[in-house]
Chain A
């Protein structure tokens, strides 16, 4: 049975069972993964997956269900499950099916060129990448991950209010992680590229980035505990921002799970900070003309020169607050109910070069990696304490590598202590909360725990 027929029958059966408005969200995904180890294809994976998510209003409440088995036998289960789920919802917030926005801006998220690159070329790329890493320095003892992957994603929303939207996108990524060794001293570094433009995949620069950074950490040692002027390198700052993205969700604000409650129009960050959510950004992984509820997406400043301008809304939270949805309705996959996430969200870059910021520091620390973002950080309280490594800066110069330290602070306090913003905006590998970027940030003071 083709999808159109399945959806028609599903809506028909749902209606008979007493559903009012209904919607399906279909998601298809084709993937390729190539992993190289010691010159050979260590793993080669192919995937072809799809799933269908159903939701509808039953007795005034929204019920959800999904299936990965797309056949006519699933219809009954989908409807019965959604009904059962709707009956158990007792939220006061109204969720509804959307008839569609007036206009949708065209967004280019599919690059046909990528399909013209042969598998052989891709395999060669990863093999060369590994080879290059070994050739760069004899202290490279292993390349523990070296892979190329790509995904083609298809999504479609169809509902009984006449909405029918579809989107195609594709993306390719490569990741290399190297292990370097000098005596007993072992260090690693991982670097990646993510884009749907294969011409941007360069073996030499990617391998060099990873090897140089790992080598630079050899001989690292801890540092005296204390408060230090700290630079968070662009990727570190972006990773931390990503982990705190839930604070901007209107749902968390309404449920009393975000400290940004009642802060609209107030200064929550230093006046040099502007945070943008741009669903139209060129090359943005999260670029799309519509969100998971079919609402037209919007460019917006979440923080403008330190002032909190808006939360991120979906239809439900917007209705509750009496505002318009910001087009941030999000579905992690067909398995998830509607939640909220940013699109391409970033801290606007500043004027200073990264090197200039270092030159201006008499004594401080540069952080180039943090670990434990899923555990050592609490979006509710804003507290973080993260294992980290980087370099000690003295008299405007990088003096030595440091590790076995933690950086600790509170995100809400830190937003006010960002003194200088670099001009090196960088986006990090997405992990579900949108595509997040930041320039390097100089923080007045952070607690460092070491010796």
Chain B
């Protein structure tokens, strides 16, 4: 990708104005994307992302520059241009890059680039046909397919010199149901840090059917009632509640500034006893996994909350300086266009003891959120919101009828304390998380849980 002597020269020049750390990140990525609407392939695009990011630290401050031109002359020019932001004497730092080998935890069998596009189209067609033929109420189905093969190189003034390959693929099915001038949609988007073999592992028809079933259920659903009530959140993508309500607040980005609601709370009780939260970037082939983070540190299994007590944060290199704490392998970035910062990987609530059935049977009245949509949070106030894609009213311990159009809102300070039942059926869901260092693949996960009371934003008064 780039040879050692070039990188050493670039790092040297990056440090010429007094920086105490410099890093070079090179990315060479091949993307494929296909869109099928109404059973026809409407769009096909492939291409190559290629660029280099140069980062300089001086104590707690950072400088970042990037370019698509990786010639030695240009990289030196960019490094010097970036270094101009500092004006101190050069420190005595010897650059000695030592190439390290990786312990690959994410074995790829079939590189997507070696698979004919026709095979990818065939897979999309299977998804389309299943969803479209599910019911006559399904009026349209859109299927998006993507795969990426990303080769990265990270080297820094501490001597790190490492390369990695990341392969990811995902298929997203969006079904629309129409009736009486109204439309509703259902979505499913499985993905993995895996090659094309992923599609042998999963049953695409099942996912397609689910997307169509959600759309059909929602077109026949009543409006969701408003107000505070208990909410049962199903396993898998339901973990988005944890991601928004607490995950972002545990990222060093906001902790280091002192603006997170979790700043200075290590050792304190922040959740109910039933809640243990883990962020684990090492799980083989999971969507949010990677061997190393985007600063070259091996990813880890980080316990964030243990039985309700705050144990740790997600920390990147720059914030580890600010916080005086060790980095946790959590420095991530979408591409060379972004400086890395602390981000989540696969974040989940660990299994409890209840079964899903017990949780529902024990709920007299409330909302059962079978599938969640996305959400967002303000880490400074802790206020979060997320959408329910498929919801039901629970009455007297039984699932009564589907309801549509609900959003759940609350505050991260108390929501985790309100979790009063945790199931034993942990599962993951795949999502894209947007924040300072771009849009990243993350897994959210949890078993079925119940929140004692949460504000449900619907369109109908509570009965």
Q: Give which listed residue, A90, A92, A335, contacts B45 with CB less than 8 A.
A: A335
**Which of B40, B142, B259, B411 has the largest number of chain A CB atoms within 10 A?**
B259
B347 vs chain A, min Cβ distance (A): 17
B313 vs chain A, min Cβ distance (A): 16
> Does A381 sit within 8 A of B, measured CB to CB?
yes
CB of A46 within 8 A of CB of B81, answer yes
Given A142-B258, A255-B38, are A371 and B378 also a contact pair (CB < 8 Å)?
Answer: yes
Which chain B positions have C-beta within 8 A of A85? 44-46, 117
Q: Give which listed residue, A49, A380, A387, contacts B66 with CB less than 8 A.
A: A49
> Does A360 sit within 8 A of B, measured CB to CB?
no
A151 vs chain B, min Cβ distance (A): 12
CA A378 to CA B51, docked complex, whole Å: 35
Q: Give which listed residue, A40, A374, A381, A449, contacts B226 with CB less than 8 A.
A: A449
> Does A167 sit within 8 A of B, measured CB to CB?
no
> Does A265 sit within 8 A of B, measured CB to CB?
no
A75 vs chain B, min Cβ distance (A): 12
Instruction: Report the interface size for chain B: residues with CB under 8 A from the other chain.
Output: 83
Chain B 70-83, CB-CB to A under 8 Å as 1, else 0, gives 00000000100110
* A403 and chain B: residue at smallest CB distance: B383
Q: Give which listed residue, A144, A406, A409, contacts B254 with CB less than 8 A.
A: A144
Given A187-B381, A404-B410, A447-B458, are A374 and B374 also a contact pair (CB < 8 Å)?
Answer: yes
Chain B 370-412, CB-CB to A under 8 Å as 1, else 0, gives 0001111010111111110000000000000000111101110
CA A374 to CA B45, docked complex, whole Å: 24
Which chain A positions have C-beta within 8 A of B374? 372, 374-375
CB of B376 within 8 A of CB of A449, answer no
CB of B61 within 8 A of CB of A91, answer no
CA A342 to CA B155, docked complex, whole Å: 43
B385 vs chain A, min Cβ distance (A): 3
Given A186-B380, A387-B383, are A88 and B227 also a contact pair (CB < 8 Å)?
Answer: no
Which chain B positions have C-beta within 8 A of A87? 117
Kindly specify which of B180-188, B300-308, B358-366 makes contact with the partner chain.
Answer: B180-188
Which chain B positions have C-beta within 8 A of A321? none
CA A179 to CA B81, docked complex, whole Å: 34
Which chain A positions have C-beta within 8 A of B185? 378, 380-381
> Does B2 sit within 8 A of A, measured CB to CB?
no
**Which of B60, B183, B227, B373 has the largest number of chain A CB atoms within 10 A?**
B183
Which chain B positions have C-beta within 8 A of A84? 44, 46, 117
B93 vs chain A, min Cβ distance (A): 20
CA A26 to CA B168, docked complex, whole Å: 28
Residues on B lying within 8 angstroms of A by beta carbon are 28, 31, 34, 37-38, 40-51, 60-69, 78, 81-82, 85, 117-118, 121, 139-140, 142, 176, 178, 181-185, 224, 226-228, 254, 257-259, 261, 337, 339, 373-376, 378, 380-387, 404-407, 409-411, 455-462
Not counting A47-B66, A408-B405, a sample of 9 additional A-B residue pairs whose C-beta atoms are within 8 angstroms of each other reads A69-B68, A85-B117, A90-B40, A259-B181, A334-B47, A383-B404, A406-B226, A406-B409, A449-B226
